[in-house]
Structure 1
Amino acid sequence: MNTQKSKNLIVALLQETDRGSVAANLAAIEIGLREAAAAGAQLVLLQELHNGPYFCQHESVAEFDRAETIPGPSSEYIGGLAAELKLVIVASIFERRAAGLYHNTALVFDRSAAIAGKYRKMHIPDDPGFMEKFYFTPGDLGFEPIQTSVGKLGVLVCWDQWYPEGARLMALAGAELLLYPTAIGWDPADDDAEKARQRDAWITVQRGHAVANGLPLLACNRTGFEAAPDSGRGIQFWGSSFVAGPQGEFLAEASRDQRELLITTIDMERCENVRRIWPFLRDRRIDAYADILKRFRD
Structure 2
Amino acid sequence: MSPVPVAVALSLVSAVAYAAAAVAQERLAARGSTAGAPRLLASGAWWGSVALNAAAALLHVVALRYGPLTVVQPLGALTLVAAVPLGARIAGRRVSRVEWRGTALTLLGLAALLVAATGPAPDGVLSLPEALAVSGAAAALIGVLARPGARPGLRHATASGTASGVASALTQTVTVAVTDRSGPLPGVQVAAVALLVAAFAAGGLLLSQTAYRGGLGAPLAVVTLANPVAAAVIGLSLLGEHLRGGPAGIVLALAGAALASRGVVRLSRAAPPSGRPAAAVPSPGAGPVTGPAPRPRPSGPERLTAAGR
Give the TM-score band, short-chain normalised.
under 0.3
Q: Which has the higher strand share?
A: 1
TM-score after normalising by structure 2: 0.27
Q: Which has the higher helix share?
A: 2
